[in-house]
């Protein structure tokens, strides 16, 4: 493969010694998933088949589920917004922030907010946005992008984290993990109790009740939802499920596959704003349903990417991801699922990322809902070739020009670029074998 | 974008037939011993007490955890079990959140110990199910350093799907949360790659089961 943006970024990341830590953590996460799955015995396959069917049926009728979710959530007192693309989502979020005169927003980890560039959008409008998931906060302090969709700062060593904390809070005493976590808790707690806007994500959205479900271990999601008087929850449309019972099955498989946990420490289900007789919770709950290109995958060979639970299991097992980290990928999503999601959501950014895969098939077997990621990555490559390859006429012209320039001819031969001249037509078989021709000549 | 346009673009170009969905795997036994073991896996601590022994158990936890202030939900169970009295007798200061529509978060943040109650628990993953609402502030289970969950008149549910069925049979709650132990993080790598407890929520979670 010729030099490329992905390859350049991946090479930079590979030169970073702390990326070795990323490999260790990914492999540990894979081990924990395997142990958890094994603990379910034969039931894990039943769980996977059930989850796959639930997701397939949901994606097959997203329009119905979205309509029902909007109706039920509105009835529960939430305000539902509809964002066709990233710009519209940004405009909706900005309007809510301006109208509520918010100055400080606290935010939980949400890949959708990364995709929509919510933090920079609000920052430009003068709203300070603080990431409150510890990993995301570390990444914010470092002015970097997440290295992993579940564990965004796993490429940072404790020493690097201490440096970032010292820069933000002043010098601190220790580099033990417990001490660093304690410092972050104290610092962020002050912001939790004075923030006026909370921005949260959503793991699943239950259509029958208009409920959003959030999965987390740190408690920052619950605080971001419960403390500020205004909340904005970003809901990717493909996360809709019909019933709470089905959401519970997906929850079990999501947490088991992401971190090997039976469930995370907190699972919150939120259906409406605070009532008049409550003393906390958001007075305004805004649910923003976001499409941003997802619907373009419906009915195409990439549709099954919408079944994804966002557990990150395919990242943890991918040899390319483990060497390069999420920061080498062009979009918000990385690893095998990231290649496909980037094609669906940000085609112009897709670049050469479809080659960031060995097509070793392990991601397909690891995916809890058995998404055929290698098949889809192959489809993305075909699309990319169709978009970027020169026409046959252009290729012939290049060949003719190269034939007149021996140095260029040798160069293109060496890089294999002439391979593009091959046609799919079979080469005619010679009537006589070469050895027979040579024998005739000798006679 | 208006709602109808939004829904229209989510319509698949050609209908995809729905596939049959298998039932969830059979759940294990709904026993308190299994619940305790599962809660222990996530570093939650469980104790079983009689109604008469509850005050002593609350004082033991408050003393062990070195708490000085506490806040409770205002529910019938908290009143019925006189939760505050023994703690006040041992010298802890009770923090009472202001009445609505005042902002309660600074008051609740000042408490070291939060006490909430529930009647529902999920055995398969050791979850206490907390309903929030009037008299049940969400932040009481989020902000204090130590959380006590009182389980009384207990209905043990074998699985998450059973919980969903119980909830579906009631009027839909505004919010509820599954609590499975202290808050934790793995975002700063610990020496042994184990999660560090006490990130944004409680450092310790004690589940006290009242009655047989």
Q: Among partner residues B38, B100, B126, which is closest to A277 by beta-carbon distance?
A: B100
Please tell me the distance from the alpha carbon of residue B108 to that of residue B144, in angstroms, as a whole number: 7
Contact A181 B185 (CB under 8 A): yes
Neighbours of B31 (CB within 10 A): 12
What value of ipTM does the predicted structure carry? Answer: 0.96
Q: Residue B64: its pLDDT value, please?
A: 97
pLDDT digits (tens, 9 = 90+) for B4-30: 999 999 999 888 899 999 999 999 999
Q: Residue A389: its pLDDT value, please?
A: 75
Determine the residue among B146, B185, B207 to mutate to test chain A binding: the one whose Cβ has the most chain A Cβ atoms within 10 Å: B185
Contact A47 B165 (CB under 8 A): no
DSSP labels for A60-81? HTHHHHHHHHHHHHHHTT-EEE
pLDDT digits (tens, 9 = 90+) for B56-92: 999 999 999 999 999 999 999 999 999 999 999 999 9
Contact A185 B199 (CB under 8 A): yes
Neighbours of B178 (CB within 10 A): 26
| β-strand pairing of B196-197 with B184-185 | antiparallel
Neighbours of A39 (CB within 10 A): 12
Question: Could you tell me the sign of the dihedral formed by the alpha carbons of A404, A408, A413, A417, in that order?
Answer: negative
Please tell me the distance from the alpha carbon of residue A5 to that of residue B112, in angstroms, as a whole number: 51
Neighbours of B122 (CB within 10 A): 27
Q: How far is A94 from chain B (nearest CA, A)?
A: 16
Alpha helices in A197-278 (DSSP H): 220-226, 244-259
Contact A279 B25 (CB under 8 A): no
pLDDT at B192 over 80: no
Per-residue pLDDT of chain A (443 residues; tens, 9 = 90+): 344 688 888 998 888 887 888 888 899 999 999 999 999 999 999 999 999 999 999 999 999 999 999 999 999 999 999 999 999 999 999 999 999 999 999 999 999 999 999 999 999 999 999 999 999 999 999 999 888 888 888 888 889 999 999 999 999 888 899 999 999 999 999 999 899 999 999 999 999 999 999 999 999 999 999 999 999 999 999 999 999 999 999 999 999 999 999 999 999 999 999 999 999 999 999 999 999 999 999 999 999 999 999 999 999 999 999 998 898 998 899 999 999 999 999 876 667 889 899 999 999 999 999 999 999 999 999 988 888 777 777 778 878 888 888 877 777 766 655 655 554 455 556 677 777 877 887 77
Which positions in chain A touch B97 (Cβ < 8 Å)?
A: 279
Cβ-based contacts under 8 A for chains A and B: 272
Which positions in chain B touch A298 (Cβ < 8 Å)?
A: 10-13
Range 129-168 of A in CB contact (< 8 A) with B: 132-135, 138, 151-154, 157-158, 161
**Which two tokens mark A16?**
């970073």
Residue A422 sits at φ, ψ, to 5 deg, of -60, 145
Q: Residue A352: its pLDDT value, please?
A: 82
Contact A295, A304 (CB under 8 A): no
Please tell me the distance from the alpha carbon of residue B202 to that of residue B147, in angstroms, as a whole number: 6
Contact A125, A98 (CB under 8 A): yes
Q: How far is B58 from chain A (nearest CA, A)?
A: 23
Determine the residue among A158, A181, A233 to mutate to test chain B binding: the one whose Cβ has the most chain B Cβ atoms within 10 Å: A181
Residue B65 sits at φ, ψ, to 5 deg, of -90, 0
pLDDT digits (tens, 9 = 90+) for B82-141: 999 999 999 999 999 998 888 889 999 999 999 999 999 999 999 999 999 999 999 999
Q: Residue A155: its pLDDT value, please?
A: 83
Q: Residue A421: its pLDDT value, please?
A: 56
Contact A50 B24 (CB under 8 A): yes
Whether the CB of A268 is below 8 Å from some CB of chain B: the reply is yes
Please tell me the distance from the alpha carbon of residue A435 to that of residue A10, in angstroms, as a whole number: 48
Q: Among partner residues A25, A132, A259, which is closest to B189 by beta-carbon distance?
A: A25
Please tell me the distance from the alpha carbon of residue A333 to that of residue A312, in angstroms, as a whole number: 10
Determine the residue among A220, A226, A316 to mutate to test chain B binding: the one whose Cβ has the most chain B Cβ atoms within 10 Å: A226
Q: Among partner residues B141, B187, B195, which is closest to A135 by beta-carbon distance?
A: B187
Which positions in chain B touch A270 (Cβ < 8 Å)?
A: 174-175
pLDDT at B45 over 50: yes
Which positions in chain A touch B26 (Cβ < 8 Å)?
A: 43
Give me the torsion for CA of B40, B188, A269, A258, rounded to 10°: -80
Q: How far is A2 from chain B (nearest CA, A)?
A: 36
Contact A66 B10 (CB under 8 A): yes
Please tell me the distance from the alpha carbon of residue B37 to that of residue A324, in angstroms, as a whole number: 39
Residues of B98-113 as b/e, b for ≥16 C-beta within 10 angstroms? eebeeebbebbbebbb
Range 168-207 of A in CB contact (< 8 A) with B: 176-178, 180-182, 184-185, 188-189, 192-193
Strand partners, B156: B121
Contact A106, A133 (CB under 8 A): no
Q: Residue A1: its pLDDT value, please?
A: 37
Contact B130, B179 (CB under 8 A): yes
Contact B58, B208 (CB under 8 A): yes
Q: How far is B212 from chain A (nearest CA, A)?
A: 26
Q: Residue A5: its pLDDT value, please?
A: 86
Residue A41 sits at φ, ψ, to 5 deg, of 60, -140
Please tell me the distance from the alpha carbon of residue B85 to that of residue A97, in angstroms, as a whole number: 44
Q: Residue A3: its pLDDT value, please?
A: 46
Range 344-403 of A in CB contact (< 8 A) with B: none
Determine the residue among A92, A158, A177 to mutate to test chain B binding: the one whose Cβ has the most chain B Cβ atoms within 10 Å: A177
């Amino acid at each position: 493969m010729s030099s490329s943006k992905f390859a350049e970024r991946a090479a930079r990341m590979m030169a970073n010694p702390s990326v070795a830590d990323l490999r260790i953590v990914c492999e540990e996460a894979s081990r924990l998933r395997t142990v958890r799955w094994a603990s379910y015995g034969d039931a894990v396959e039943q769980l996977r088949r059930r989850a796959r069917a639930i997701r397939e049926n949901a994606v097959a009728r997203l329009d119905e589920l979205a309509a029902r979710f909007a109706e039920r959530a509105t009835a529960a007192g939430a305000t539902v917004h509809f964002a066709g693309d990233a710009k519209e989502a940004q405009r909706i979020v900005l309007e809510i922030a301006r109208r509520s005169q918010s100055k400080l927003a606290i935010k939980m980890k949400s890949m959708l907010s990364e995709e929509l560039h919510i933090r920079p959008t609000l920052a430009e409008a003068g709203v300070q946005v603080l990431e409150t998931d510890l990993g995301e906060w570390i990444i914010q302090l470092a002015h970097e992008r997440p290295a992993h969709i579940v564990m965004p700062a796993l490429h940072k060593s404790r020493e690097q984290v201490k440096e970032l904390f010292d820069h933000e809070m002043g010098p601190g005493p220790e580099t033990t993990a417990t001490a660093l976590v304690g410092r972050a808790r104290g610092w962020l707690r002050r912001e939790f109790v004075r923030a006026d806007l909370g921005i949260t994500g959503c793991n699943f959205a239950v259509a029958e009740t208009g409920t959003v479900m959030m999965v987390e271990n740190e408690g920052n999601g619950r605080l971001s939802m419960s403390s500020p008087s205004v909340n904005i929850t970003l809901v990717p449309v493909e996360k809709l499920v019909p019933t709470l019972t089905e959401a519970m099955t997906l929850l079990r498989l999501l947490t088991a596959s992401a971190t090997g946990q039976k469930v995370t420490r907190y699972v919150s289900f939120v259906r409406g704003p605070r009532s008049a007789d409550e003393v906390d919770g958001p007075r305004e709950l805004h649910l923003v349903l976001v499409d941003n290109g997802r619907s373009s995958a419906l009915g195409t060979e990439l549709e099954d990417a919408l079944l994804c639970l966002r557990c990150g299991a395919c990242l943890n097992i991918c040899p390319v991801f483990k060497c390069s980290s999420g920061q080498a990928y062009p979009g918000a999503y990385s690893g095998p699922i990231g290649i496909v999601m980037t094609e669906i959501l940000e085609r112009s950014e897709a670049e050469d990322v479809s080659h960031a895969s060995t097509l070793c098939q392990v991601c397909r077997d690891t995916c809890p809902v058995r998404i055929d990621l290698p098949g889809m990555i192959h489809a993305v490559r075909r699309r990319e070739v169709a978009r970027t390859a020169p026409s046959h006429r252009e290729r012939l012209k290049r060949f003719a020009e190269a034939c007149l320039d021996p140095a260029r001819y040798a160069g293109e031969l060496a890089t294999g670029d002439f391979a593009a001249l091959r046609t799919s037509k079979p080469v005619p078989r010679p009537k006589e074998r070469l050895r027979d021709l040579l024998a005739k000549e000798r006679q | 974008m208006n709602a109808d346009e939004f829904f229209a673009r989510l319509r698949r170009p050609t209908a995809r037939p729905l596939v049959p969905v298998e039932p969830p795997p059979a759940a294990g036994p709904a026993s308190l011993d299994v619940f305790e073991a599962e809660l222990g896996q996530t570093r939650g601590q469980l104790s079983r007490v009689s109604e008469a022994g509850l005050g002593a158990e609350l004082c033991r936890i408050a003393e062990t955890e070195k708490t000085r202030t506490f806040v409770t939900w205002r529910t019938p169970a908290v009143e019925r079990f006189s939760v505050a009295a023994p703690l006040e007798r041992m010298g802890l200061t009770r923090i009472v959140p202001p009445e609505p529509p005042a902002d309660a978060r600074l008051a609740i943040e000042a408490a070291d110990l939060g006490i909430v109650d529930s009647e529902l628990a999920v055995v398969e993953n050791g979850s206490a199910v907390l309903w929030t609402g009037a008299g049940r502030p969400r932040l009481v289970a989020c902000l204090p350093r130590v959380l006590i969950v009182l389980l009384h008149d207990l209905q043990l549910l074998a699985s998450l799907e059973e919980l969903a069925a119980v909830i579906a049979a009631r009027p839909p709650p505004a919010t509820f949360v599954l609590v499975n132990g202290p808050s934790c993080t793995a975002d700063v790598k610990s020496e042994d790659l184990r999660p560090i407890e006490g990130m944004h929520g409680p450092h310790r979670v004690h589940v006290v089961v009242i009655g047989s």
